[in-house]
Amino acid sequence: MTAGPAPRFPHRHLLGVGELSPRDIGDLLDLADGYVALNRRAEKKQEKLRGRTQINMFFESSTRTRTSFELAGKRLGADVINMSPATSAIKKGETLIDTAATLNAMRPDVLVVRHPDSGAVKLLANAVNAAVVNAGDGSHEHPTQALLDALTIRRRLGRLSGLTVAICGDIAHSRVARSNILLFNIMGARVRLVAPPTLVPTAADRYGVEIHHDMRAGLKDVDIVMMLRLQTERMQGSFVPSEREYFQFYGLDYDKLAVAKPDALIMHPGPMNRGTEIDSEVADDINRSVILDQVEMGVAVRQACLEALARNLDDPEHNR
């Protein structure tokens, strides 16, 4: 079974890492550790969400996040429905809040929401009774991604505190970067942002991070190298001269990686653009790359989050 007696998760929704305490994060990771073990067994089915209904609302494309939330809900015994905006009444001009109110009337227990606008998931959470999980809102937050990254690191290196992490690439448009910066700060890891000046967010100096525009300086002696995709769908105009030149200066290859710690881990939230932000061989390096571990941890972390939120649905303090 999952690890020990369940500690209380003091939140009705999971909207961002910014609202979590070190204890909340540690408890979720402990719970997720139990699910990693369960997911490696032939019989994966649990009953923690039995009788519950989970609706996945993805207003933006997704492979691993949507699939892993679906698997997580199903493995916990929930009825899981995927709402696809492409074929929903959104296409007929219905507002987000009207869609939310409509779904809410069907009494779902959990809504997992991804939306291209920062803040949209919180807006929706305020309009429904269900527990809401933010599966990525614009360039704002993607809390379960940061949690799965943390679980991947904790399982490999045994801790988060005291580590130095370089987050490299398109930081400006990345909710993954933002949630990870928050989480590493909360858990006592040091963060370096490595990117061309055009891809560093304007308020980055307020994040408590070091900023580098040169990969070799930024990667020097780091424990973790986390690469990010150029999020061209969020860019208006061009932010880099060409993908080829971008790879030359900011793409992770063995040459640039050589200055990191010899056993530094390579991470990427996916989807990867091989040859743009990361060299194919580095991405597939079985000794260094934990990119597929991240995917495996994603299911377990999402199970932990769903379990923690579902427990609160019965709690009168949450006065639903």
Q: Which is nearer to ligand NCD, 164 or 294 (CB)?
A: 294
Tell me what percent of the chain is helix, strand and coil, each rounded to the nearest 5. 45, 15, 40
Give the containing element (helix H, strand E) for 133.
strand 131-137
Residue of 301, 13, 11, 18 whose CA lies nearest to 175: 18
173 binds ligand NCD (CB under 6 A): no
State yes or no: residue 269 binds ligand NCD (CB under 6 A).
Answer: yes
| Residue 92: active-site member | yes
Q: Which of 65, 179, 276, 303 binds ligand NCD (CB under 6 A)?
A: 65
Q: Render the burial of 130-146: b for 16+ CB within 10 Å, e for the rest.
A: bbbbbbbbbbbbbbbbb
With beta carbons less than 8 A apart as the criterion, state whether 109 and 53 touch: yes
142: annotated active-site residue: yes
Supply the minimum distance, in Å, between the C-beta of residue 225 and ligand NCD: 16
Q: Which residue is nearest to ligand NCD (CB)?
A: 229
Q: 156 vs 150, 171, 262, CA distance in Å? A: 10, 25, 15
User: How far is the C-alpha of 192 from the C-alpha of 170, rounded, in Å?
Assistant: 13
Kindly state whether residue 145 participates in binding ligand NCD, applying the rule CB under 6 A: yes
For position 152 contacting ligand NCD by CB under 6 A, the verdict is no
CB 77 within 8 A of CB 49: yes
Question: Does the protein bind ligand NCD through residue 270 (CB under 6 A)?
Answer: yes
Site string for ligand NCD, 223-262 (x = CB under 6 A): ------x-x-------------------------------
Q: Which of 92, 107, 202, 206 is an active site residue?
A: 92
75 binds ligand NCD (CB under 6 A): no
β-pair partners for 136: none
Tokens, residue 200? 């560093």
- Distance from C-alpha of 57 to C-alpha of 206, rounded to nearest angstrom: 32
Q: Residue 64 or residue 311: which is nearer to ligand NCD going by CB?
A: 64
Q: According to CB under 6 A, which one of 66, 115, 175, 192 is a site residue for ligand NCD?
A: 175
Identify the active-site residue in 66, 122, 142, 175.
142
Closer Cβ to ligand NCD, 52 or 298, answer by number: 298
Active site amino acids? 64-65, 92, 114, 142
Q: Which positions lie near ligand NCD, rule CB under 6 A?
A: 64-65, 136, 142, 145, 175-176, 229, 231, 269-270
